[in-house]
């Protein structure tokens, strides 16, 4: 039986205290621990933290409220609280549904919004215990998915030679809803939050901490939706997911796919196609169909076509997400 590598555990009373410990460079932040503890237990990374800094002792990072024209969710808010919030379900439906469709009730009771948007990729080469595949994402020389089993990997190309996808369910909802991520240092647009060299990475500095997620209130009459395709109905990551926000009266749409690329994929062509259709005389079905086709216009299966099935799923989810917003 494998034993855990040792690390110190520190309860930080405030985010400032946590950031000071993280600055040492050999520490990792823990919120719900549903992702981090698996990576430590199975030693999937080449390095191991000396200290795990527990943020949960900070009582001021767990809230859902609406003011100043935006929904504000503290970084330590549990996914289940987001999924159950009447406010979120009514006005920010895509986010509520994304939280509801994440993992299982147990994980949603532990997992937080901050941890969800900072989780590491699920690529099976990357996640193999004991760092057996020291892949390019970990600083090694190659992406094993290039020639290996890549049925769940990117349909929009590699990011720095890595084909892993961003596996988060909340990410596309936050991008579609034009959210902002507020840290202990700055405010980052959700769309830019994963804009980095490697899949599943964020733009956060080592000692930077997510404090709050802010979602602007959608325009009056606009509707949002989130859809997910997974192999199993529960306890499963997305094969593909999609969130949309459609303002029918204003003739605009924001559409984001995830689990299809190293970072959430904002489907700009689909947004333009939906907007054109909304401004013309198209039916809801025609607008949705056009958006679905445009969403995957630039998608390509990897050599061998093992992940080709994801293209059709992405197309269908984008279509259905737009349709759900127009009904």
- Burial (Cβ within 10 Å: 0-12, 13-18, ≥19) of residue 325: buried
Determine if 200 is a binding residue for ligand FAD (CB under 6 A).
no
Q: Site residues for ligand FAD, window 73-112 (CB under 6 A)?
A: 75, 79, 102-103, 107, 110-112
Residue nearest to ligand FAD (CB): 115
**Which residue stretch of 25-33, 154-162, 189-197, 259-267 sits at the interface with ligand FAD (rule: CB under 6 A)?**
25-33
CB-CB contact of 95 with 66 (8 Å): no
Token representation of residue 177: 């809803």
For ligand FAD, the binding residues in 261-320 under the rule CB under 6 A are none
Per-residue contact flags (x/-) with ligand FAD for residues 232 to 251, judged by CB under 6 A: ---xxx--------------
Fill in the per-residue mask, 161 to 190: x = in contact with ligand FAD (CB under 6 A), - = not in contact: ------xxx---------------------
Query: What is the Cα–Cα distance from 103 to 114, expressed in whole angstroms?
Result: 15
Whole-angstrom Cα distance, residue 270 to residue 267?
5
Residue among 184 and 252 whose Cβ is closer to ligand FAD: 184
Cβ proximity to ligand FAD: between 30 and 318 the closer is 30
Query: Length of the chain, please?
Result: 327
Structure tokens that stand for 20 in this block: 């000071």
Least separation in angstroms between CB 29 and ligand FAD: 4
Smallest distance, ligand FAD to C-beta of residue 290, A: 29
Question: Least distance to ligand FAD from the beta carbon of 98, Å?
Answer: 8
Rounded least distance, CB 30 to ligand FAD, Å: 5
CA dihedral 150, 238, 209, 207 (to 10 degrees): -10
Q: Which is nearer to ligand FAD, 101 or 291 (CB)?
A: 101
DSSP per residue, 86-132? HHHHHH-HHHHHHHHTSS-HHHHHH-BHHHHHHPPP--TTTT-GGG-
Among 229, 218, 39, CA closest to 121: 39
Span near ligand FAD by CB under 6 A; candidates 29-37, 193-201, 286-294, 310-318: 29-37
Give the residue, chosen from 12, 19, 21, 34, that forms a contact with ligand FAD under the rule CB under 6 A. 34
Query: Which stretch, 33-41, 123-131, 147-155, 280-288, contacts ligand FAD (CB under 6 A)?
Result: 33-41
Helix, coil or strand: residue 261: coil
Number of alpha carbons in the 13 Å side-chain half-sphere of residue 139: 5
Question: Both tokens of residue 143?
Answer: 């992406």
Stretches 62-70, 174-182, 204-212, 248-256: which one binds ligand FAD (CB under 6 A)? 204-212
How many residues touch ligand FAD under the rule CB under 6 A: the total is 33
String of DSSP letters for 208-260: --EEEEEEEPPPTT-EEEEEEE-SSSSS---SEEEEEEEETTTTEEEEEEESS
Beta bridge partners of 183: 210
Q: Which residues bind ligand FAD (CB under 6 A)?
A: 28-36, 38, 55, 75, 79, 102-103, 107, 110-112, 114-116, 118-119, 167-169, 204, 209-210, 235-237
């Amino acid at each position: 039986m494998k034993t855990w590598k040792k690390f110190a555990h520190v309860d930080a009373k405030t985010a400032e205290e946590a950031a000071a410990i993280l600055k040492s460079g050999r520490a990792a932040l823990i919120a719900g621990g549903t992702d981090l503890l698996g990576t430590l237990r199975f030693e999937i990374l080449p390095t191991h933290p000396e200290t795990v800094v527990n943020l949960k002792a900070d009582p001021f990072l767990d809230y859902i409220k609406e003011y100043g024209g935006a929904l504000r969710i503290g970084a330590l808010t549990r996914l289940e609280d987001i999924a159950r919030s009447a406010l979120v379900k009514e006005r920010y439906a895509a986010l509520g549904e994304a939280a509801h469709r994440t993992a299982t009730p147990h994980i949603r009771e532990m997992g937080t919004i901050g941890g969800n948007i900072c989780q590491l990729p699920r690529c099976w080469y990357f996640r193999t215990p004991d760092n057996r595949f020291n892949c390019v994402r970990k600083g090694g020389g190659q992406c094993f998915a290039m020639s290996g089993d890549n049925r769940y990997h990117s349909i929009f190309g590699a990011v720095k030679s890595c084909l892993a996808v961003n596996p988060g369910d909340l990410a596309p909802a936050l991008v579609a809803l034009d959210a902002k991520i507020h840290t202990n240092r700055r405010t980052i647009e959700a769309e830019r939050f994963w804009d980095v060299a490697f899949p599943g990475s964020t733009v956060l500095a080592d000692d930077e901490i997510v404090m709050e997620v802010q979602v602007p209130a959608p325009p009056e009459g606009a509707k949002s939706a989130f859809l997910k395709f997974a192999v199993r109905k529960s306890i499963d990551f997305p094969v593909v997911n999609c969130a949309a926000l459609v303002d029918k009266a204003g003739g605009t749409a924001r559409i984001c796919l995830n689990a299809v690329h190293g970072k959430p994929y904002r489907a700009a062509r689909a947004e333009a196609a939906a907007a054109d259709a909304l401004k013309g005389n198209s039916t809801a079905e025609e607008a949705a169909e056009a958006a679905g086709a445009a969403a995957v216009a630039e998608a390509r299966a990897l050599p061998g076509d093992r992940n080709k099935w994801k293209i059709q799923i992405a197309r269908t989810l984008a279509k259905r997400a737009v349709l759900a917003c127009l009904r």
